[in-house]
Every structure is written in structure tokens, then in C-alpha cells.
Amino acid sequence: MRRVLRSTAVSLTAVAALALAACGGGAPVQDVFSAGGWPGAHADARSSNTSPADGPRTPSFAWSRPLLAPTTSGPSVSAGGQVFVTTRAEHGCNLYSFELDSGRKRWCNRLAPAVAAATPVVDRATNIYVGEDGAMNSFTELGQLRWRTIVSGTPLSAQFTGDGNLLFVTQFGVVSVLNPQNGREVVPSHQLIPAPTAAEGQNLPLPPADLGLDQCAFGGPECPVPAGPAIDLASGNFYLTLRLPDRDRASVVAMRYADGALTGLWSADVLDGGTSASPSLSADGTTVYAGDNKGTLWALDAATGQLRWSRPLGYPAAGTPSVSSDGLIIPAPGQGGHLLALRDRGDHAEVAWERRDLAPVGGPAQAGGAVGYTEVREGPDASAPTSLLTFDTGTGETLDQDTLPGGGGPTTGTAIGPDGEVLTATALGELFVLR
């Protein structure tokens, strides 16, 4: 039913003598995510775009808020029902907090423009962490600044590690791990692209912190790392994509944060034409999934980087796939794409179902109860209204379709709240909640 590159190292603060120890040495795994909400760009540490909350099968429009500026990243939601979203506003606020129940604005702040590139990540205490031009910041749930740490480039959406620290990478390929209590560096940062030597760098100016960000949305060559990592909390292994200078392909790169260091594990040069999205991990941590700009979804062995299988999709992957705990993979449709579900059979992908009758304009999200959500265009014309599509993840069958009042064009992410609320933001700058 339908209802109305180059990067130059920038030193961080010195490591405190009593800073948190790095992952490893038998340290217990901590999940400091705001469990029960949608606390990061892709919901969880493995970037699965899934939620354990039972999703409504016939959601209804609850509220919407104009954000007064375009958005390029999706919302995050704390377990307590606080929504965070960034915008590309040229003046005034560009970081917002809203109450999930009512849509009331709790607070807003003005950061440097590149804050729009990242979704805030939220911890159990409802502190948030979000980057801007040349810095990572942390704010309290009331919007008060806790700390600000200078970095090289612009931090993309962050993750938490198994020992409770904050891990992120900038578009320049600088990987950092910070103590979330004080913003101090826990281990020395790691540069995926070697910095110029002293002799080479004598006459080179520091690159602007937002250099190449405009190309991250489509995985262009001036944005070496376009999106945040996926991390296995138990092992400390994490995965990201990297496009080295003058390369036509991007790589899936595996690293480990353990034993007081950041170390490289492997690199697989498979993403033809680059990519604009984060990889995602299977629930058991054994397989990494990543899509490329030429229309192929890749499945790699998480331990070795060896190819398990690849599958042509027929359209570029415009985002990170949704990967459920039982292994249902729903790629993010790109331009000209359709809704498709796959099953990983070890050495190949099997089509579970597909819907070629839909024109998706958003990324998929899976909830408990075999329910999924994505945004679709209601007609063939690009100016047609946008709807939230609710579908059965087992069959692909439409359960419900709800027009987003006044909404149009593509969306920047689908999120699921702690009680099954469904959230999305349009690229034009409108936040919608259905429940």
C-alpha cells in the first residue's frame, strides 16, 4: 500500500604514559558502539548495514525536518534515540542533533565544511565523534566539545576497536587510533601513501585538508581513500579501499591494530575503475565484500585476500552492501541498478531474488524479522517523488511503499532506530523518519 595525492604527515599529540593499551595481549573485546541504534555510517563495526531490531512491515510517516542544505552522508542514531546528521551548509550549523521521538532539534554546531563527508559515530555514553577539515572532534550528547585532535586530511566515518579506541582514516590514507576519552594518539599513525622525503618536501606546501574530497563520492583518482573501514573487533583486523596515484584500479587493503602497532596484512588490486564505498564483513569475519565502479561485487578471503568469487552486477556499486548475519547480501544499486539479493555459496554467489521493476535511489538496510528497506523513485522521470520501500528479505516481495512527503531525488543512507524506526536523508537536505 502507498502512503502520502599526496599527503604530508602532521604530528598528533604525544602518547600519554597511561594511555589505553592497544588491542591484543588477551585484552577483552569491548563493543563501545551505542548498541541498539544505528551508531555509525553502516550500523556496526563490520559495516553491515543491518540492525537486530525488528523492523515494521507497514511503517507510517512520523516526521521530517528540512536540514537547510544538501547532505552527502547518512544519519546515525544512538540507543537512547538521538539522531545525528551533517550537511554541506555554507553558513550556520552543519552538524545537527534531533530527538528521534519528536523530531525536535536538540542542538546544532558549526564545523569546517568537510564535516559533511562523514557520518558521526556515537558511543554508549552518547558522545559523538566526527571529523572536519584537518581534525577529529568529540562532542557530548549536549553538543559540547570534549576534545579536538589535528590530523592530516579529513577523517572519514570512524569505527571503534576491540579495546574501545577510535580508529579512522582520512582521504589522504592516514590511519589513526585515538583514545576516545582525551583524543590522544594511542599508536603512531600509519600512512598508506608514503609521504614525500625531506628533500622532496622542502618546496611542497601542505595540501589543503579537503583536497580530493569532491571526488570521494564517485571514487575519483584524487581521493585515495573514499570511505571508512570495516573492522573485526575480535582480531583487530580492519579493511578499507585505497586507490594509489595514477592507478585505474583501487585495492581492498587489510590491516591489523594489535600489540601496540598498526601493521599491513595484504592488498588485493581488484576494484576496476575505483570505488566510492566502504567494504563490509561477513558476520563470521571470514569474507570481505566490496563493489567497484565497473559493476562487479568482489568476495575476498579476509585472512589472505584471495579471491573467493566475483559477480558482475550490471551497474556500479553506489554504496556499501547490506550483509545480514545469515549471509544475505543486498548490494547498493548504482545508476541504472535494480534491487538484488545474493547468497554466498563459498566459491560463487547465488541469486536469491531480484526486482528489476524498481528504480532504487538509496542504499538498502536489513532489520530483524526478515524486513528490508530502501528508497525508490515512484516513476520513470527523474523528478518523480521518492518512496520508502519495505520488502521481505526472504523473497524480495513488496510489503509496503510510503511516499516521502516533499522528498525527491537520491538519498544518502537508510538507518534503523532502536525500536525499528526507519530514517533516511535526501541529498537535497531533508531528514525523514517512519515508524
Taking the C-alpha atoms of residue 360 and residue 206, their distance in angstroms, rounded to an integer, is 41
Taking the C-alpha atoms of residue 384 and residue 22, their distance in angstroms, rounded to an integer, is 51
Contact call for residues 175 and 169 (beta carbons, < 8 A): yes
Provide the grid cell at 316. 556500479
Pairing of strands 128-132, 121-122: antiparallel
- In this structure, CATH architecture of domain 5-434: 8 Propeller (2.140)
164 Rama sector, left if φ>0, alpha if ψ -120 to 50, beta otherwise: left
Taking the C-alpha atoms of residue 366 and residue 50, their distance in angstroms, rounded to an integer, is 5
Contacts of 181 (CB under 8 A, 6+ apart): none
Taking the C-alpha atoms of residue 118 and residue 241, their distance in angstroms, rounded to an integer, is 16
Query: Mind listing the pLDDT tens digit of every residue in the chain (435 residues)?
Result: 443 333 333 333 333 332 333 343 345 666 677 678 999 999 999 999 999 999 999 999 999 999 999 999 999 999 999 999 999 999 999 999 999 999 999 999 999 999 999 999 999 999 999 999 999 999 999 999 999 999 999 999 999 999 999 999 999 999 999 999 999 999 999 999 987 666 665 667 889 999 999 999 999 999 999 999 999 999 999 999 999 998 999 999 999 999 889 999 999 999 999 999 999 999 999 999 999 999 999 999 999 999 999 999 999 988 999 999 999 999 999 778 999 999 999 999 999 999 999 999 999 999 999 999 999 999 888 889 999 999 999 999 999 999 999 988 999 999 999 999 999 999 999 999 999
